[in-house]
């Protein structure tokens, strides 16, 4: 139901709407509370031939100093309802503007459901989960995803997309590739489970329990969530205190030849993870650390001391500072390892 007047603001500073706290202004800015408001917003954009950008919590978005010469639509569509339930699982329809971390707490604390407990403390909205197949500590969106409802900006019609249509990959989906900017996701259906999770768990979670002499078979969904909260609190900056976009670089993918080369040079225990196709994923945070950049101030930006993959904004004046720091980090890593590292957050 539409219950608020649609307001379109002009020249709104986007730095306040992203967790990196940098960048210029949106020429036009509207808050979307109900999917019924979309046609009016489309009309506004079409009449002035404006490009559109959909914003959630801004925790994976970098804004350039020029800002966005178009219409930014901040998705705040709320809603949480049970769409289906049987003896083993519950499916939820969630408004795309729902806060993800709050939903994880609700699912675990109030409903004792499993499937999302390791994805606690990830900032942002439900609508952004499918964009990069958000994941952490051994769980990812595609494991619990059923479908989503989205407005197709090209056809002006709503569509339902299932997991196959989203083509989820590692921190990837069609929404970061050929369907980038094509949809406004308005709701997401997720399936959680009544049975508690069973080991094996992600290595860092197992270590957390074994260090405390807690048998892995006995841990509850709630205990896993609490363990991830503790682990993350030690490694990641609190977005309410330190500006960042979480992991700023993607872990790099390298060939098996390159992996052997690196093992010879840096030892057998370097953080390499074998992939199904024979390639390897290498921990980019480790490379940044080895390039002596962890904790170092670079143009007001600093690879976080707890996790060098996270680039924090300590005193950068603008996006240009971030870009200079990014180039310096990429160059130093390339000089040491011969590997090109790529930015993870999307940029406007």
Return d(Cα 257, Cα 339) in angstroms, integer. 13
Active site residue 344: yes
Q: Interface with ligand FAD by CB under 6 A: which range of 39-47, 52-60, 64-72, 161-169?
A: 52-60
Annotated catalytic residue: which of 80, 167, 171, 176? 171
What mask of x and - would describe binding to ligand FAD in positions 225 to 264, judged by CB under 6 A? Answer: -----------x--x----xxx------------------
Is 243 in a helix, a strand, or coil?
strand
Q: At CA 129, angle to CA 200 and CA 209, rounded to 5?
A: 25
Per rule CB under 6 A, is residue 70 in the interface with ligand FAD?
A: no
- Residues 109-168 touching ligand FAD, rule: CB under 6 A, are 122-125, 127-129, 131-132, 134-136
Q: How far is CA 281 from CA 125, 177, 250, in A?
A: 27, 20, 10
Min. distance of Cβ 67 from ligand FAD in angstroms? 15
Size of the site for ligand FAD (CB under 6 A): 33
- Give the 3-state secondary structure of residue 266: helix
Query: Two tokens at 24?
Result: 């210029």
Residue showing tokens 């205190």? 241
| Residue 54 in the binding site for ligand FAD (CB under 6 A) | yes
Whole-number Å distance between alpha carbons of 92 and 189? 5
Among 183, 248, 280, 319, binds ligand FAD (CB under 6 A): 183
Question: Given the complex with ligand FAD, which of 300 and 334 has the nearer CB atom?
Answer: 300
58 binds ligand FAD (CB under 6 A): yes
- Under the binding rule (CB under 6 A), the answer on residue 184 touching ligand FAD is yes
Convert residues 264-293 into a mask of x (bound to ligand FAD by CB under 6 A) and - (unbound).
------------------------------
Contact 133, 169 (CB under 8 A): yes
10: nearest Cα among 48, 60, 64: 48
Cite the DSSP H helix spans in the chain.
38-47, 100-105, 141-144, 163-166, 203-211, 221-235, 256-266, 284-290, 319-337
Question: For residues 27 and 337, which CB has a smaller minimum distance to ligand FAD in the complex?
Answer: 27
Alpha-carbon gap, residue 260 to 264, rounded angstroms: 6
Phi, psi of 111 (to 5 degrees): -110, -10
Spatial CB neighbours of 211, under 8 Å, sequence gap ≥ 6: none
Active site residue 302: no
Omega before residue 200 within 30° of 0, cis: yes
Q: State yes or no: is 206 an active-site residue.
A: no
Closest separation between CB of residue 212 and ligand FAD, Å?
A: 23
d(CA 132, CA 345): 9
Site membership for ligand FAD, residue 95 (CB under 6 A): no
Q: Which of 247, 294, 302, 326 is catalytic?
A: 247
Instruction: Return the number of the residue (219 or 246) whose C-beta is nearest ligand FAD.
Output: 246
Nearest to ligand FAD of 23, 56 (CB atom): 56
Binding of residue 23 to ligand FAD (CB under 6 A): no
Judged by the rule CB under 6 A, the positions of this chain that interact with ligand FAD are 19, 53-61, 75, 96, 122-125, 127-129, 131-132, 134-136, 183-185, 236, 239, 244-246, 346
* Catalytically active residues, by annotation: 171, 247, 344
């Amino acid at each position: 139901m539409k219950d608020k007047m649609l307001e379109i603001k002009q020249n709104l500073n986007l730095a306040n709407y992203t967790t990196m706290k940098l960048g210029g202004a949106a020429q036009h800015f509207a808050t979307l509370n109900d999917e019924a408001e979309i046609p009016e917003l489309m009309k506004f954009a079409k009449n002035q031939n404006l490009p559109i950008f959909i914003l959630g919590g801004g925790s994976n978005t970098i804004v350039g100093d020029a800002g966005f010469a178009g219409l930014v639509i901040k998705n705040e569509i709320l809603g949480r309802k049970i769409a289906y339930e049987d003896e083993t699982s519950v499916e939820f329809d969630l408004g795309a503007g729902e806060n993800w971390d709050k939903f994880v707490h609700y699912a675990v604390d109030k409903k004792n459901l499993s499937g999302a407990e390791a994805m606690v403390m990830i900032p942002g909205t439900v609508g952004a989960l499918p964009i990069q197949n958000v994941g952490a500590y051994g769980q990812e969106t595609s494991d619990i995803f059923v479908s989503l409802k989205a407005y197709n900006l090209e056809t002006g019609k709503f569509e339902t997309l299932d997991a196959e249509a989203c083509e989820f990959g590692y921190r990837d989906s069609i929404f970061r590739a050929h369907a980038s900017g094509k949809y406004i996701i308005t709701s997401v259906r997720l399936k959680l489970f009544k049975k508690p999770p069973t080991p094996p768990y992600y290595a860092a979670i197992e270590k957390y329990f074994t260090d405390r002499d807690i048998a892995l078979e006995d841990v509850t969904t709630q205990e896993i969530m609490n363990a991830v909260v503790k682990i993350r609190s030690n490694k990641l900056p609190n977005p309410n205190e330190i500006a960042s976009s979480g992991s700023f670089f993607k872990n790099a993918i390298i060939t098996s030849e390159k992996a052997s080369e690196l093992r010879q040079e840096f030892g057998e225990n370097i953080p390499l993870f074998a992939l199904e196709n024979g390639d390897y994923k290498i921990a980019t945070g480790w490379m940044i650390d080895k390039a002596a950049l962890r904790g170092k101030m670079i143009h007001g930006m600093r690879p976080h001391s707890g996790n060098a993959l996270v680039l924090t904004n300590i005193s950068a004046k603008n996006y240009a500072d971030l870009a200079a720091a990014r180039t310096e980090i990429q160059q130093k890593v390339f000089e040491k390892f011969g590997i090109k590292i790529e930015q993870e957050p999307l940029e406007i």
